[in-house]
Amino acid sequence: MAGDAGPDVADEAARIAWLSDQISHHSHLYYNLAAPELSDIEFDTLWDELKALDPSNLQLSIVGADVDPGSEKVVHLFPMRSLDKATSDEEIQHFAIETALGAEQFLSQPKLDGSALSLEYRLGRLVRAATRGNGDRGEDVTRNARRIQNVPENLGIEVDAHIRGEVVMSLSTFEEKYREVSPNPRNLAAGALRQKNLEAGKADAADLVFQAYDVRFPSKEVRHPNAVEPPHEENDSMLLEWLQKTGIEVAPWEVHDGAESMCTSTLDWSAKRESHRFEIDGVVFKVDDLRKRQLLGMTAHHPRWALAWKFPPDIAETVLLGIDWQTGRTGVITPVARLAPQMVGGVTVENATLHNVGELERLSIKIGDKVRLVRRGDVIPKVEAVMGKATKKDLQDRIHADGTPFTGVLPPSSVPDIPQTCPDCQGPVELDGAFLRCNDLSCTARTVRSLIYWCQALEMDGIGEKLAEQLDDSGLVRSIPDLYSLTMEQLSGLDRMAEKSASNVLSEISATRSLSLSRFLHALGMPGIGPELAASLSQEIGTLKELLTLVKQWSDGDESALNRLVSIDGVGAKVAEQFYGGLSIRSELVDDLSKAIEITTEGTAPVGGVLAGKSFCVTGSLSRGRKEIQLSIKAAGGKIVTSVSGNLDYLIAGENAGSKLSKAQSLGVEVLDESGLEKLMGSSTSDAPPRTLFDY
Ligand code: IVH
C-alpha cells in the first residue's frame, strides 16, 4: 500500500483514528477530485479493518461525493445574522455604555470583506459547509470548502461544532493570479465557493483562506451521542483560543475594557488597513461575556451584542461626460450618468444612475462638471455632489475597467436636455413630479422589461434579459401573451439556443398556463402592486371577471368600486386608484392574456390558513414594510390588531419595539421576530430538508 502503514494494531484507538483519517482523505481524492492514490482493493482493506475495529465509526457513514456546490439548500441550525452598523465614535460609546447591559469586556476583530461560511463538524470531522444565504438558509458548498487549505478535515477532538468565519483571498494572491479576472477578491471568494467545476474566470477555492470569528455548539439533544462535551467557557475570547487549538485559523482579535480602547482600535485598524493580508471594511466589536450575549439576544436582523464599525466611504472624483436615458418597465425614464472611468472602492465605475429628473435639478448638475462619486461598502456607487466645472486635467491618466487608456475628451459645459420623447419608442412623454414617463404600453423598452418582470415574478428559470431581448429583436414576442404561442422551431432557431434549452424554456412557460388571480396580478408588474397586495386584493375580489367589472365601474366614476378596495385592511384610496388605473391602461394586455392562459379563482379568505384564529400585533422596525408583513399574516388567515392585550396571541417585534414589547412581555404574550413568524407560517420548511448525516 502507498505511504506508511499507520500505527500498530496494538494501539487500537490510534489505529482507529488513523484509519478514519485515511478513509476521509482517500474518499476526498477519489470522489471529489477524481484523483485516487489507492486501488479499490487497498481502499476496501482500510474500510474493512475500520469496520471490524469500530463498526459505528462516523467515517463509515460518510459515503460518496459531496453534492454539487450550490445544488442543495442547508437550513442553518444557528441562523447567520447580519451586524448592526456604525461609523462614529459616539455610536461605539453608545454601544459600549448603553446597549451592552454594562458589559465590562469587549473583543474586536477586523471586519473581513469576503464571503461568510459555516463549517459543520460532527465528532470532529467536517461533514458539511454552507454559505450564509439569507441567514436562515444557505447553500451546500462542502466540496469547495474542502479545497480551502486551512479548513481542517479533522479537529482532533470528537466534538460537534458549527464554526463560522469569512472566506477571503489574500491581496497578494489576488494581485498575482486574479487581478485581470475580477475587480475584487470578495467576488472571487463568493464565486469560488459556489462554482460546480473549476472554471476560467473564477477562482479556485484552493486559493482562498478561512478566517474564523465564531463557534456554536449544538445542544445535547441534537448532537451526536458519542460527541464529547463542548468547552464551557465564560468568554468568547476563550472560545476563540480553544478554536485555535483545534487547528482552526481565527481572525486576529483584541480584548478591550471599554469604549476608549475600542475607539483607539478603529484608528489602529485604519492605519493597518492597507498593509493587512486581506481586504477589510471595518472593525467588529462584540461583548465578550457569553452570558450577557444570551441576555441581549437578537433582533430579526442582527445580534444586540455586536457592532460593526465601518471605515468611512470611498470617495472619488470624476467627470460627467453625458447622460443616457433609459425607459423602465413602468415607463419611468431614468437618467444614467456616463462618467470618465474612475476607481472607487475597488471597482472601476463608468456609469451611475441619477435616479430621476428631480435628482438632476437637486444636484444642479451640468454635463462637463466634476462630480463626487461615493461608494459605501457593498452599495452601488452614487453621484453625490457636483464640484464645479471640470478641466482637461481632470480627465488625465484615466483607465477603463479592461485596462485600456481612456481617450475621451471634455464635453462643453451644458445643462442636460430632458428628453421630449421616449428614448426608446419616440412616443410622447409626461413629467409627473420628479419623474419623466413614457405612457405608451407598446414601447419596446417597456415590453421587454415587463416580459422580464413577468418571467421573474413567476419564477421561470432560463428567461433573463438576454433571451427577452432576443425574443423581442426577432419579432417573436412583442408582448407577454406571445410567449404562450412560441414553438420549439421558433425557439431553437434563435442564436445560441440549443434544443435542450429551448425545450426547458417551453416547459417553464407551460407551467404558467394556469395562474391564480393573485399571481397573475403580481406578475403584471403594475407600479405599487407587489405580491402581498396582489394577494389581498385578489382575496377580496375573487375572479378576473369581477375585477374587470370593478375596473369598468371605476372608470365610469362609480364610487363603490373604490370603496370596495378601501375596505381591505392596508389599502388606501391612493393604492386603489393606482390599481384600477394600472389595470385600465393594461386592459388590452389583460384581455389578450386571459385568452392565452387560464386565470383561476382566488381561494376565499383562508379560514383554514396556517395562522387562522390567531391574532397578531406588529411593532418596531422590520426588514420588510409593516404593511407588507400585516398583509402576509392576513393572507395566511391571521387577524391583525393594533394594540397589545392579554388576549393577543403573538407580538411580532422588530428593532426598537418599545412599549408594546415590554407590555407583551409583562402580559406573557408570545413575542416573535421576523424569522419566528416565517417559521410559524411554515415558509422556512417549504424546501427539501437539509442534508445531514444524522437527523437533528
Ligand atoms: S461576527 C451574528 N466577525 O460581516 C453575526 N462577522 O455584516 C456574527 N464578518 O455576515 C458575525 N468579519 O460574514 C463577525 N470578524 C467578524 C467578521 C464578520 C466579517 C461578516 C460576517 C457577517 C457580516 C455582517
- pLDDT tens column, 68-109: 887 788 889 999 989 999 999 999 999 999 888 888 999 999
Nearest CA to ligand 1 atom 23: 82
For 93, residues 6+ apart whose C-beta sits below 8 A from its C-beta are: 259, 263
Same domain for 106 and 153?
Answer: yes
Considering the chain, what is the average pLDDT of its residues?
88
pLDDT tens digits for 305-346?
999 999 988 899 999 999 999 998 888 999 999 999 999 877
Q: Which residues are catalytic?
A: 111
Position 398 confidence tier, pLDDT thresholds 50, 70, 90: very high
CATH number of residue 582's parent domain: 1.10.150.20
Nearest CA to ligand 1 atom 17: 111
Same domain for 327 and 299?
Answer: no
Same domain for 168 and 108?
Answer: yes
Site to substitute for ligand 1 among 162, 163, 193, 213, most atoms within 8 A of C-beta: 213
**What pLDDT shows up at residue 401?**
86
Cα separation, 19 vs 44, whole angstroms = 11
pLDDT tens digits for 16-49?
999 998 998 888 887 777 788 988 888 889 999 9
Q: Is residue 425 assigned to a domain?
A: no
Same domain for 177 and 264?
Answer: yes
Q: Is residue 429 assigned to a domain?
A: no
pLDDT tens digits for 599-617?
998 765 445 567 877 888 8
Q: Is 132 in the pocket of ligand 1 (CB under 6 A)?
A: yes
**What pLDDT shows up at residue 610?**
78
**Is residue 3 predicted with pLDDT exceeding 70?**
no
**Is residue 684 predicted with pLDDT exceeding 90?**
no
Same domain for 15 and 100?
Answer: no
Nearest CA to ligand 1 atom 14: 213
Query: Can you read off the three cell numbers belonging to residue 389?
Result: 466645472
Cα separation, 301 vs 653, whole angstroms = 11
pLDDT tens digits for 401-446?
888 999 999 999 999 999 999 999 999 999 988 999 998 888 988 8
Element (H, E) at 337: strand 333-344
687 CA to centre of ligand 1 in angstroms: 26
Same domain for 203 and 266?
Answer: yes
Range in 15-24, 114-123, 369-378, 540-549 with the lowest mean pLDDT? 369-378
**What pLDDT shows up at residue 432?**
87
Same domain for 329 and 347?
Answer: yes
For 281, residues 6+ apart whose C-beta sits below 8 A from its C-beta are: 111, 113, 310, 311, 377
Mode of pairing for the β-strands spanning 280-287 and 306-310: antiparallel
Residue with cell 371605476: 554
111 CA to centre of ligand 1 in angstroms: 6
Q: Is residue 692 assigned to a domain?
A: no
Same domain for 137 and 279?
Answer: yes
Q: Is 109 in the pocket of ligand 1 (CB under 6 A)?
A: yes
Regarding pTM above 0.75, the answer is: no
Cβ distance 631 to 574 under 8 Å? Answer: no
Same domain for 269 and 296?
Answer: yes
Most confident of 144-153, 631-640, 645-654: 144-153
Cα separation, 252 vs 262, whole angstroms = 15
The last residue of one of the domains, among 512, 536, 557, is 512
Q: Is 81 in the pocket of ligand 1 (CB under 6 A)?
A: yes
Q: Residue 342's domain spans which residues?
A: 9-68+313-395
Same domain for 504 and 587?
Answer: no
pLDDT tens digits for 193-243?
998 887 777 899 999 999 999 999 999 888 888 899 999 999 999 999 999
Site to substitute for ligand 1 among 84, 87, 111, 293, most atoms within 8 A of C-beta: 111
The last residue of one of the domains, among 310, 332, 364, is 310
201 CA to centre of ligand 1 in angstroms: 27
DSSP secondary structure letters along 75-140: E-SS------EE-SHHHHHHIIIIITTT---EEEEEEE-SEEEEEEEETTEEEEEEE-TTSSEEEB
Atom of ligand 1 nearest to the CA of 82: 24
